[in-house]
Structure 1
């Protein structure tokens, strides 16, 4: 279409715009009675309104429903009255029943006289916009709900680290309110963790998520521990800031620390335990290797601690251990670390110290036991400790070897009287190794039939005749050869093997006594030794009676020898001895004069004879005190009607002395060495 003038061109352009735009365009003429008639509609308006060109020149009520017409006239009259544009939204239903939203803008056309002559209505479908807006609002509400009601603290900060916002839980955790929005994250985080935050910020602003555990400052000033996660805020491909999610883990870490403490510390004393010792000693040895220094392992336990538990109960025992630990902790030595292994066993580790410093440390440990402990608030109790010391690297380069060697040294201290300390030596290792070999062989000795009974006669020195025999245990090991009783008897006592060995001795003595009775009618009594540990067995008397009956030997031909230490448990001992005596067994006190028994025991217990220890007999002709003690024992025994037997008689001079002082029975090499049964 060709345009002949500028006005024609405007008309053409105007027509094109109104025809092809998606908006609905209505031009309404304002009549003199202030009603409104249709003057113009574009194609979209005709189609949407569902009217034809016949609507032109008609008023709204003639074209539309009364309700719609009235609603529209209300808006038109507002424009007419105010002479200003207004905007309103209509809601309708589509053929499918979905809501549709249309936005209309009414604009007045005002003449030169200031009168509104026409009103132009432009209506646009904003359904998609409304739906999108509502989705956005719903999304914002969801985000706000997530933000405000999240149990974790959520906050945001810009690229400079300045806080931009945070939710209520963040305020609860940190104590900060709105004033925090002016703070930088670096003012909130503890200085010790600046490096962690720097790394986190670097990751975030490189577009990565990051997390860390850091310390933060509560508004009140105390530190809190946070598990912090952060994600970048990306807008059009650029990082504008970050969201942070923080969780207060202060209590959790406190509980974890408590669990860790309990795992690495003894629950009774609070000292570090065996697990902690393993790590500590390993690290101490490794450090000593690097710096060519020395490490001392001091292994110690409490002497006769079992007596506390047995007499006062385990609560008193725990109380004693706690008091010991508190005293040990008072030792001033920054190179000293203390550990409780178990029971009454402790270990002290001394690092990077000279031999004199280690000795001084051992002396300080011993000094902790010089004053009494008070149990159950008022019971005064003294106890000592025995210490064994091993050194890295001279006594071993592995932690467990050092502990074992210190333990070996401690037991040597106990063998030598307790209550002091000793350093480990190679001789101890050899002795300990032999002890292990002996115990292993001793456990198989009965099964391998390696034991033998030897007999030493007791002589009536006046008639020079045998009155009885003492059965003496001998051990000839298939593997180790002949072993002295002085070596294996104490080991049997400590290991508990003395119980089955003692039963074998009594059984063998009764068997051989039976054999003697079968060969001749004048068999002599046989004495067997009972250890203190055997005497503690509830079935001791029953066992002896069963052996005697098993071989059908007269009980008066069996004698038991006990030491004075057995007599300490008065009630139990009295009952056992009375049962043995009632059965017909003779009872002797061996090594009399070497123990600490009260002489009243001789009156109370059914004792038949006393045996004077060989240590007194050895010096009766050369030492006035030995002679006086021996004479006193003889007179005491004779006065009480007890038989007195001298042990270890080896010379004629000793025999003469004993006879002169009215001791008529003796036993020793002067008369005979111990011999096997067949001899």
Structure 2
């Protein structure tokens, strides 16, 4: 049905109007036009009359939407639906005066929009049918136009008379009139007259059709009675000829109205002058489960002074008596006490002076619509997974909390809660288990918050808690501590025990800001500080964090431009085998030719890049440039050189990494074993996604090494399961050799572990000859460090390879 419905949009916001047009078109409606002011709207209505108008209240021009609606109602009687963000009492009162078919608050969903349009159209059509029914009833009650006729038994001739008003003046004689009677009715009329003439005291009537000279078919009725004519023993027939065309039409219309009354899906009730039930249709009894005997000559249960608020009752009937109509939504009860919401229309039935007035009541059951609206409203303000307030509602609650804190001169805390490493749960166990954990965490947090506090879910694994009326920072620390404790309890998902944790950032009103958006942003910034400090922790906001965040954003933008503008380059630090007296490989290390600050080291690049997808793009650039350079060296005759490239965890999680590396090996004709990928100890935490990636890389023939071994949280039991072939002893353990006994012990232990697991070892950060002597003496042959060579540009590598034997001799001497 929607494709035949024409809609005019009156909205001063062009973007909103275009979006509304798009949504209406999607729903199958035809938009006749869009107007931003009243004058343009009136022009469009005159050009193409719409079925319905969607009206914004605040529009451009000298008149607002409510004034324009009044004009349209008076001139065209077009259904109006208000679409507005304003719901204050004054605006609603003015809008109600225009008798709109709907009042929908922005924002609203397509479903809400479609429902209110469909309901309005159906209601408008019902109003039209009601008007037609009333017209039919009026026509049926109009006085009949009449003329007289008579016939004597002797002459058998019909004589025509005239009514005092002369209504039948065109009929001059029976013979002429008889010729206009429909051929199928002539014999019936003749038989009717003959029977009257033959039977004394006989009375009857007959209705027949007549075709006028203009071809119009009219209906007439003959009423006749025969009686004795004095002492002549003769009797005559006297009667009335009545044109019943309008009566016949009125009768047909009354039949139509009765059909509407009985077949309408809306409940229709007729009330007498005392507002008591006279009759009602089947739809009403079916809708309310009442029976006729329950209500006959009684008040409608939902229209009593008791069931309605006293003021509403008085206003309702005052409107009916004054304006002839009232429309609105009320709450009612079925006979079984079940609640129902109905759209109620009450009209005063027009009657002639002196006749008793009556009222017609029409009800539509909108319970499902109301329930749907409530569900949609719930969806609009609550998270569908956890049933917690969403961002819109939590910000509204925060505004209210700030207003209360301002009145009470109290502190207000905003706690931004982010689950640590939640993505791993989704990646490893799937989103279904991840959702289950989010619901469980929500309930845990709620269980430790005060009843006056509000918890909301922003998105993903982010929550906000609003803690009002706190006396000090210590109170917020206690709340944060309770949250940390309750979340850290073990959770069993898919037969796997998980110890969740979270990081909490805290901002305080009014110390940090009085703006709700700023307070949330500050708490978010503080949360990242908590993560930076080791996670499973809380941190309060301080201004330095904003400066750091601003620097981070600036650096991230600079890195993006650096990648586009080709500002990166690679340096290479040789890896030495002292036993073989040769350079066996190089580690690719990124440098940044900053336009203002000169050459920058990886510490200025990697930490920022790792917080976004930039690390994947930069990491892929390093891989490509390293393979390209290795290809060039191999072309120059350096066939046995190994290229080591650092790879981040985020790169390992990228599904395209294996294909990308395989493509590079093919593009630059490199044997897979000439490329070594260095990963951090984070991959030792048995993350299935990382292990799977490493296994696929190993199948390509690529070498895998653990960089900075011993500095992270290594899970030694999983070390044997990883497809690695080398450990790199971190320079922090090499630095104290041979004087620091702890460093010596750690280095010796790593070498022994690697020997047992059949892994090779490279020691990083060599700065003294004594370190070389110690490591060689304990079985570590491959070394890397500044004492042997700093990272250098690609052009210096061939010279270092050629000169290394002489350099080694000089070092020993």
The TM-score normalised by the length of structure 1 is 0.70
Task: Report the counterpart of residue 269 of structure 1 in structure 2.
Answer: 386
Give secondary structure in 1 for the equivalent of 2:536. coil
Specify whether residues 151 and 266 from structure 1 end up closer, same or farther in structure 2 by C-alpha distance, changes over 3 A only: same
- Separation (CA, whole Å) in 2 of partners of 1:527 and 1:25: 126
Matched, 1:370 2:488: yes
Matched, 1:486 2:607: no
Give secondary structure in 2 for the equivalent of 1:486. helix
- Could you tell which deviates more after superposition, 400-409 or 463-472? 463-472
Matched, 1:538 2:658: yes
Task: Report the counterpart of residue 28 of structure 2 in structure 1.
Answer: none
Matched, 1:99 2:229: no
Residue 420 of structure 1: CA displacement?
A: 2.9
Task: Report the counterpart of residue 225 of structure 1 in structure 2.
Answer: 341
The TM-score normalised by the length of structure 2 is 0.60
Task: Report the counterpart of residue 171 of structure 1 in structure 2.
Answer: 285
- Could you tell which deviates more after superposition, 289-298 or 159-168? 289-298
Larger Rg over CA atoms: 1
How many equivalent pairs are there? Answer: 602
Asked whether the 8 Å contact 1:102–1:126 carries over to 2, the reply is: yes
- Separation (CA, whole Å) in 2 of partners of 1:166 and 1:432: 71
Asked whether the 8 Å contact 2:526–2:539 carries over to 1, the reply is: yes
Specify whether residues 432 and 233 from structure 1 end up closer, same or farther in structure 2 by C-alpha distance, changes over 3 A only: same
Specify whether residues 535 and 366 from structure 1 end up closer, same or farther in structure 2 by C-alpha distance, changes over 3 A only: closer
Summarize deviations over 1:76-106 as a string: whole Å, max 9, x none.
xxxxxxxxxxxx6677999999432246899
Specify whether residues 89 and 434 from structure 1 end up closer, same or farther in structure 2 by C-alpha distance, changes over 3 A only: same
Asked whether the 8 Å contact 1:565–1:597 carries over to 2, the reply is: no
Task: Report the counterpart of residue 151 of structure 1 in structure 2.
Answer: 265
Specify whether residues 181 and 637 from structure 1 end up closer, same or farther in structure 2 by C-alpha distance, changes over 3 A only: closer
Task: Report the counterpart of residue 247 of structure 1 in structure 2.
Answer: 364
Give secondary structure in 2 for the equivalent of 1:205. helix
Specify whether residues 601 and 244 from structure 1 end up closer, same or farther in structure 2 by C-alpha distance, changes over 3 A only: closer
Asked whether the 8 Å contact 2:149–2:241 carries over to 1, the reply is: no
Relative contact order (C-alpha < 8 Å, sep 6+): which is higher? 1
Give secondary structure in 1 for the equivalent of 2:697. helix
CA RMSD of aligned residues (A): 5.3
Task: Report the counterpart of residue 199 of structure 2 in structure 1.
Answer: 71
Asked whether the 8 Å contact 2:221–2:243 carries over to 1, the reply is: no
Specify whether residues 165 and 556 from structure 1 end up closer, same or farther in structure 2 by C-alpha distance, changes over 3 A only: closer
User: Matches of residues 21-32 of structure 1 in structure 2 within 5 Å?
Assistant: none
- Separation (CA, whole Å) in 1 of partners of 2:453 and 2:788: 61
- Separation (CA, whole Å) in 1 of partners of 2:429 and 2:278: 68
Give secondary structure in 1 for the equivalent of 2:610. helix
User: Matches of residues 611-650 of structure 1 in structure 2 within 5 Å?
Assistant: 611-620=728-737, 623-636=740-753, 644-650=761-767
Asked whether the 8 Å contact 1:23–1:122 carries over to 2, the reply is: no
Residue 326 of structure 1: CA displacement?
A: 4.3
Residue 489 of structure 1: CA displacement?
A: 1.3
Specify whether residues 500 and 94 from structure 1 end up closer, same or farther in structure 2 by C-alpha distance, changes over 3 A only: closer
Task: Report the counterpart of residue 420 of structure 2 in structure 1.
Answer: 303
Specify whether residues 236 and 469 from structure 1 end up closer, same or farther in structure 2 by C-alpha distance, changes over 3 A only: closer
Give secondary structure in 1 for the equivalent of 2:606. helix
Task: Report the counterpart of residue 7 of structure 1 in structure 2.
Answer: none
Task: Report the counterpart of residue 576 of structure 1 in structure 2.
Answer: 697
Specify whether residues 219 and 545 from structure 1 end up closer, same or farther in structure 2 by C-alpha distance, changes over 3 A only: closer
- Separation (CA, whole Å) in 2 of partners of 1:95 and 1:166: 39
- Separation (CA, whole Å) in 1 of partners of 2:376 and 2:410: 34
- Separation (CA, whole Å) in 2 of partners of 1:373 and 1:397: 38
- Separation (CA, whole Å) in 1 of partners of 2:677 and 2:256: 95
- Could you tell which deviates more after superposition, 251-260 or 237-246? 237-246
Residue 201 of structure 1: CA displacement?
A: 0.8
Give secondary structure in 1 for the equivalent of 2:487. coil
Specify whether residues 127 and 146 from structure 1 end up closer, same or farther in structure 2 by C-alpha distance, changes over 3 A only: farther
- Separation (CA, whole Å) in 2 of partners of 1:566 and 1:140: 85
Asked whether the 8 Å contact 1:161–1:186 carries over to 2, the reply is: no
Give secondary structure in 1 for the equivalent of 2:658. coil
Summarize deviations over 1:179-220 as a string: whole Å, max 9, x none.
434544576457464433322211111143111111123333
Task: Report the counterpart of residue 425 of structure 1 in structure 2.
Answer: 542
- Separation (CA, whole Å) in 1 of partners of 2:672 and 2:330: 84
Q: Which runs of 5+ in 1 are unaligned?
A: 1-21, 27-36, 38-42, 50-64, 76-87, 109-116
Asked whether the 8 Å contact 1:591–1:614 carries over to 2, the reply is: yes
- Separation (CA, whole Å) in 1 of partners of 2:580 and 2:693: 39
Specify whether residues 430 and 455 from structure 1 end up closer, same or farther in structure 2 by C-alpha distance, changes over 3 A only: same
- Separation (CA, whole Å) in 1 of partners of 2:794 and 2:372: 72
Specify whether residues 198 and 637 from structure 1 end up closer, same or farther in structure 2 by C-alpha distance, changes over 3 A only: same
